[in-house]
Chains A and B, each alone.
Chain A
Amino acid sequence: MTAAAAPLRGLVLAGGASSRMQRDKAALDYGGRSQLDRVVALARRHVTGVFVSVRADQAQDPVRAGHSLIIDTFTDGGPIAGIRSAFTRDPAAAWLVLACDLPLLSDAAIEHLIRSRDPAGFATAYRSTYDGLPEPLCAIWEPRSADALAEWVARGHKCPRKFLGAHPVTLLDPIDAHALDNVNTPEEYARARAALDQGTTREAMRIQIRYYALMREQAGRSDETVETEAGTPAALYRELGARHPFTLTPEQLKVAVNGDFSDWSRALRPDDVVVFIPPVAGG
């Protein structure tokens, strides 16, 4: 990523009609939390400024109303209207766009997307494991795609997948075959719940953090144990940064898990011990 990269914000699409499910997909319950709340929490672990895209008639809906909303300013509907409305809200931002019907989406999948981002292109997206086409609703949309989307719609197109297929985008192979499985039918919902119950994706787990030097002073403690859904050290650091006044960025830190240096995108396991290592000064 270059220094000129647009700041990345989050957009969770919750304006769908859920016709095949015959009930509101955003409200589907997973372990006591709505699908929408889960995806918003996931996005917040990776980007600052997460909004929920809704149609005007959904703004008062109790499942959605508690979030920061971006109400569709385009009447043609569909995901493209939501994405264009986000660019209207902040044309200088790039948007991490996530559908709210991806219950198996993981921190690792989001991190890989962000790390592989090409800020100079139109978008960075995963390649579908089913048809090889770009997945538009777990993707980073760059500011330069805003005008191209307007043109696309003006020419009578509606499909964001075809848009990505017709423009130069960075395509990634999925790191987890099921992370982008969406839930459209009661059968798929049952399967996703079963997968979550088996622990094939993240649920809250207990992680220990030990702090040293500047980190210890800023955290106001030498160690703590947290219940977290953060799947990686990078997501955990972002989450802890909301509670403690950390001044160092992940780029300035190294990280250790269970007593040895680790990658920021390593999958955390229950009872792992994590240490964020500020710039060293031995000798």
Chain B
Amino acid sequence: MTPFRFSSTPIDTETGRRALLDGAAGGYVSFEGWVRDHNEGLAVRRLEYEAFVDLAVKEGERIVAEAIGRFALRGALCVHRIGDLAIGDLAVWVGVSAVHRGEAFDACRYIIDEVKHRLPIWKKEHYANGDSGWVNCERCAAAAHHDHGSHTHDSHAHD
């Protein structure tokens, strides 16, 4: 499996977990991001994910490689959904294996945080009231803060 990929169909987490099985690993940690039914006080009906795939894959692979180097992992993978998703759908999956559990927890957290901040992926929320909006681009645009010239918006979904 490639370290980072997009999927336009439901993510099979069991295949990912199996790919990380390793006799030298003492632990495995995974993270599942789910589509939540509300955000910033609005009821959410469904989501659309759109990505600049070429650059997102390149940057996603860099993030996984950084995590492997920084936390001395045995393995790490990330899969992100693209397209239309319903409430409860799995939007993103991260799995890591390491010799000890501490590195596995830290690395899993590192990967999902970096993915959220660095990858050119956008989320359009469709609300129960009929409105829709690109998260961090519209309602938050005026108040957006930018540290070090990069986008470090906090996304509010499935944290």
Contact = CB atoms under 8 A, between A and B. Distances in A.
B123 A260 contact: no
Given A282-B92, A282-B116, A283-B91, A277 B52 contact: yes
What class of interface size applies to chain B in its complex with A? Answer: 35 or more
B137 A279 contact: yes
Nearest to A217: B134
A280 B112 CA distance: 14
Interface in B105-121: 112, 115-121
A282 B115 contact: yes
B157 interface: yes
Nearest to B111: A283
B136 to A, nearest CB: 4
A1 interface: no
What class of interface size applies to chain A in its complex with B? Answer: 20 to 34
A75 interface: no
Contacts of A277: 52, 120
Interface string B67-106: 0000000000000100000000001100000000000000
Nearest to B156: A281
B136 A281 contact: yes
A277 B112 CA distance: 20
A94 interface: no
Contacts of B120: 212, 254, 256, 275, 277, 280
B38 interface: no
A241 interface: no
B108 to A, nearest CB: 13
B134 A281 contact: yes
Contact of B52 (A212, A247, A251): A212
A278 interface: yes
Interface string B40-62: 00000000011110111011000
A212 to B, nearest CB: 5
Interface string A70-91: 0000000000000000000000
Contact of A280 (B33, B91, B118, B140): B118
11 contacts: A214-B138, A252-B144, A261-B55, A261-B59, A279-B141, A280-B119, A281-B122, A281-B153, A282-B115, A282-B116, A283-B91
Interface of A: 210, 212-214, 216, 247-248, 251-252, 254, 256, 259-261, 275, 277-283
Given A259-B55, A280-B118, 17 more contacts: A213-B122, A214-B137, A216-B50, A254-B150, A254-B151, A275-B120, A277-B52, A278-B137, A279-B141, A280-B116, A280-B119, A280-B136, A281-B121, A281-B123, A282-B115, A282-B122, A283-B158
